[in-house]
Amino acid sequence: MSVNSNLFVIIFASAIFYGTPLVFAAVGELLAERSGVINLGVEGMMLLGAVSAAMVAANLDGPAAVVLPIALLAAMVAAGLGAAIHAFLVITLRVNQIISGLALTIFGGAAGLSSYLANVWGLGKQPAMNQFGRMDLFGLKKFPVLGPILFDQTLLTYLSWVLVVLVMVYLFRTRMGLHLRSVGESPQTADSVGISVTRYRYGHVIAGGMLAGVAGACFSLTIVPTWANGLTSGEGWIALALVIFGFWRPDLTLVGAYLFGALSSLSFTLQARGIDVPTALLDALPYVATIVVLVIVSNSRISKRLGSPAALGRPYEREER
Amino acid sequence: MSLASRVGLRLEPRVDNPRWMNWAVPVCSFIAALLVGSIVLLITSQNPISVYQRILERGFLDTGSLSGTFISATPLLFTGLCAAVAFKVGFFNIGGEGQFYVGAIFASGIALSLGADAQSWIAVGAMVLAGTVGGALWAFIPGILRAYFRTNEIITSLMLNYVAGIGATYLIFESDSFWRELGGTGAVFPKGKIIPLSAQWPSFDLGNLVVPFGLLLGAVVAIWLHVLQRRTRFGYEMRVVGGAPSTARYAGMRPARVIVAVAMLSGGLAGLGGAADVGNFRHVLDPKGLQQSGFGYAGIVVAALARLNPIAVVFVAIILGGITNAGYALQGPDFPAGLVGTLEGLILFCTLGGEVLVRYRIVNTRRQAVAS
């Protein structure tokens, strides 16, 4: 038996595979929250993205190199539109962010528009014709240990790494990133130096939604890979927890995403190995772990230094200055 | 710059609050939601008029349809109260779904263990109590974590929904538990034991209309909550903690305790809903059915539309119960699943937007600028 079929290698490799949608969704939510807007609609936006991507993949004939980018684009547009509704309600109309976000999840969610559209379009009867397959990057797939973990993933995973690097640079090394953080920490100050709070908030909420759409597409184009009702099974909510876990930093959020990717894949990894553990216990693990990790993080010393953006959840009203 | 400010519109807090707006705005929001919904229907080549007409007929107007609507409204009433009570103090319990399951598990457990010989009123009373306790215990977890460990209750309560769903599935599908029917067809197809007749909740037949006991109980609970919020010391503390936690602390209240108490009250209401669902309708612990219904999430819509007012929750639950009931009755190619949730979401969006008109006036800044 080669070292690459070692249980831990497989767990690491599937942690990255199953953690990828969490990276996209959590980094998207992080952008919105850095601008001061909580969006609890992640789960709904992911499902809207997943159903749109599945629709394109099922109905568009052509080579994968054409179909898949269009499917991703469709996912981003659909989820971005969902985010735009939330943005309009909470930024322009100053509706309570929590209730508006919940409304978005209910609207798009497993019993809402995503399920309706899938029924109307007749999706989910067969696997997607075009999928993001695993690619043997640099031909290093067979390299011991690191091969399966780093060089045998899908294009979406590699894109997520690029995204994390770009967002890190954007947030902490560019002028726009600095402006974004100031809008999230103190919109009054940002406004007084001529930064448009409204424009920054709209932009980042919608960008965050588009990334949630990509996260949804990860499910319908690689993980499942077809449409199934409610296929994200609550991962949108885990993404929200990951933003807190990662102290609103993309790099730490990526670590958290892979931790939860490992937990959510553990059930069938162990089963495939014939290791007998009650499935209910393993299925519940990611959810219980989210709670435990959240309690620890919320009470740690670091969270006082690296806490949430100060204006998170508060609408900005100019006349209140 | 936002669209609103580009065309020269600005929101200005209202000084006056005209009374007619309190009913006109929700009604207009509802109509707006139906209009947006008909765009969605048209795009997906459905006829909006016939869809709405069928919802109205199958939900409210056809003979016997209102009885079915009451059945769908009962769980929504309890989960709506669950969300309304908690949201009012700023405890965003979205774990009503899981608390509903745990209530159903507890209530069916007690009904099964009392057996067929128990007197009916004792069995029903025990189920009410057990369901409430089950839901309250499940909500105690996010309550205590928020109050004493500063942990975001939105995420913890939601994660527990999945845990409760997995737990209920385990009891029926993955173990030989007390809840599972092992004899007969249950040996082949996993299913729960049916609770004894004596534990099945009564329904009152008024000729054309059947009113379930659970709905009446829910209405009484709603009135009790209204009194609790307006007329008692605890209600006063809830209002202060919800409005201004630091003021509450200076006034000698203990916000943390109030939050834990509200969390348990809220969860207890959802758990009672789970008991009503088992006692009045399902008569069995049915994990798949529970998870497909999504009553807990729909309860959030109910509470938001009722503006967190317990009495209004009763009426909103009946309206949304009608739409849900019509959804069950009509499900098929002309009425795809998911339409009900889509419409609920649109109604909620429009109501949230409409409420802004109650709080703010829209001022045309361009005209003002010209005038001055």
pLDDT in tens, A127-162: 777 778 777 777 777 787 777 778 888 899 999 999
Instruction: Name the DSSP letter for residue A4.
Output: G
Residues of chain A positioned with their CB less than 8 A from the CB of B87: 99
- Closest-CA residue of chain A to B304: A99
pLDDT tens string, chain B, 372 residues long: the values are: 445 445 556 777 777 777 777 778 888 888 999 999 999 999 888 899 999 999 999 999 998 899 999 999 999 999 999 999 999 999 999 999 999 999 999 999 999 999 888 899 999 999 999 999 999 999 999 999 999 999 999 999 999 999 999 999 999 998 889 999 888 888 788 899 999 999 999 999 988 899 999 999 999 999 999 999 999 999 999 988 888 888 888 888 888 999 999 999 999 999 999 999 999 999 999 999 998 888 998 999 999 999 899 999 999 999 999 999 998 888 887 788 889 889 999 999 999 998 887 777 777 665 554 444
Averaged pLDDT for residues A103-117: 92
| The one-letter amino acid at A312 | L
Option in B151, B166, B356 nearest A295 (CB): B151
Residue B220: name the closest of B128, B288, B88 by CA.
B128
Q: Which residues pair with B137 in a beta bridge?
A: none
Q: What's residue A110's pLDDT?
A: 86
Residues of chain A positioned with their CB less than 8 A from the CB of B2: 91-92, 198-199, 202
- Closest-CA residue of chain A to B11: A93
Q: What angle do CA B208, B212, B218 make, to 5 degrees?
A: 130
d(CA B154, CA A234): 13
Q: Which residue has the tokens 């009650």?
A: A278
| The one-letter amino acid at A233 | S
Q: In terms of DSSP bridges, do strands B9-13 and B360-364 run parallel, antiparallel, or are they unpaired?
A: antiparallel
ipTM above 0.85, yes or no: yes
Residue A284: name the closest of B99, B155, B295, B161 by CA.
B161
Please report the sign of the dihedral spanned by the C-alpha atoms of residue A214, residue A243, residue A295, residue A108. negative
Residues of chain B positioned with their CB less than 8 A from the CB of A241: 152, 155, 159
Query: Between chain A and chain B, how many beta carbons pairs sit less than 8 Å apart?
Result: 167
Averaged pLDDT for residues A38-65: 93
d(CA B293, CA B295): 5
Option in A113, A196, A240 nearest B345 (CB): A113
**DSSP string computed for A185-247:** H-HHHHHHTT--HHHHHHHHHHHHHHHHHHHHHHIIIIIS-S--TTTTTTHHHHHHHHHHHTT
Q: What's residue B1's pLDDT?
A: 44
Residues of chain B positioned with their CB less than 8 A from the CB of A111: 294, 297-298, 337-338, 340-341
Q: Are A215 and A48 in contact (CB under 8 A)?
A: no
**DSSP string computed for A38-65:** --TTHHHHHHHHHHHHHHHHHH--S-HH
- Closest-CA residue of chain B to A283: B166
Option in B339, B340, B345 nearest A103 (CB): B345
**Of B207 and A126, which is predicted with more confidence?**
B207
**DSSP string computed for B92-119:** ----HHHHHHHHHHHHHHHHHHH-TTS-
Q: Which residue has the tokens 């994390």?
A: A164
Averaged pLDDT for residues A119-123: 89
A69-90 residue pLDDT tens: 999 999 999 999 999 999 999 9
CA B180 to centroid of chain Cα atoms: 28
How far from A278 is each of A282, B176, B187, B321, CA to CA, in Å? 7, 13, 20, 38
A273-297 residue pLDDT tens: 877 778 888 889 999 999 999 999 8
Q: Are B273 and B201 in contact (CB under 8 A)?
A: no
> How many domains in chain A?
1
A156-181 residue pLDDT tens: 999 999 999 999 999 999 999 999 99
Q: What's residue A111's pLDDT?
A: 86
Query: Can you tell me whether residue A138 is helix, strand or coil?
Result: helix
Residues of chain A positioned with their CB less than 8 A from the CB of B298: 106, 111
Q: Are A213 and A11 in contact (CB under 8 A)?
A: no
Contact B353 A95 (CB under 8 A): yes
Res A268 pLDDT > 50: yes
Token pair of A11 as six digits: 């767990």
Contact A119 B338 (CB under 8 A): yes
Q: Are A229 and A47 in contact (CB under 8 A)?
A: no
Q: What's residue B6's pLDDT?
A: 52
| B306, burial (CB in 10 Å: exposed 0-12, middle 13-18, buried 19+) | buried
Instruction: Name the DSSP letter for residue B193.
Output: P
Q: Which residues pair with B363 in a beta bridge?
A: B10
Q: Cα-flanking dihedrals φ and ψ of residue A124, to 5°? A: 90, 5
What is the pLDDT of chain A when averaged over all its residues?
Answer: 90
Instruction: Name the DSSP letter for residue A150.
Output: H
> In b/e form, how buried is each residue of B198-218, taking b as 16+ CB within 10 angstroms?
bbbbebeeeeeebbbbbbebb
Residues of chain A positioned with their CB less than 8 A from the CB of B44: 116-117, 120
Averaged pLDDT for residues A28-57: 96
CATH number at residue A117: 1.10.3470
Contact A198 B167 (CB under 8 A): no
Contact B342 A280 (CB under 8 A): no
Query: Can you tell me whether residue A273 is helix, strand or coil?
Result: coil
Q: How far is B222 from chain A (nearest CA, A)?
A: 22
Residues of chain A positioned with their CB less than 8 A from the CB of B365: none
Option in B11, B300, B353 nearest A106 (CB): B300
Listed ranges A26-30, A221-225, B342-346; the one with the highest mean pLDDT: A26-30
Residues of chain B positioned with their CB less than 8 A from the CB of A117: 44, 338
Q: Tell me which residue range forms the domain holding A80.
A: 3-320
Q: Hey, of B10, B25, B138, B159, which one would you mutate to test binding to chain A, going by the most A CBs within 10 A of its CB?
A: B159
Q: What's residue B56's pLDDT?
A: 93
Q: How far is B151 from chain A (nearest CA, A)?
A: 6
Contact B344 A117 (CB under 8 A): no
Q: How far is A269 from chain B (nearest CA, A)?
A: 19
d(CA B143, CA B135): 12
Q: What's residue B9's pLDDT?
A: 65
H or E segment at B184? none
- Percentage of chain A modeled with pLDDT above 70: 98
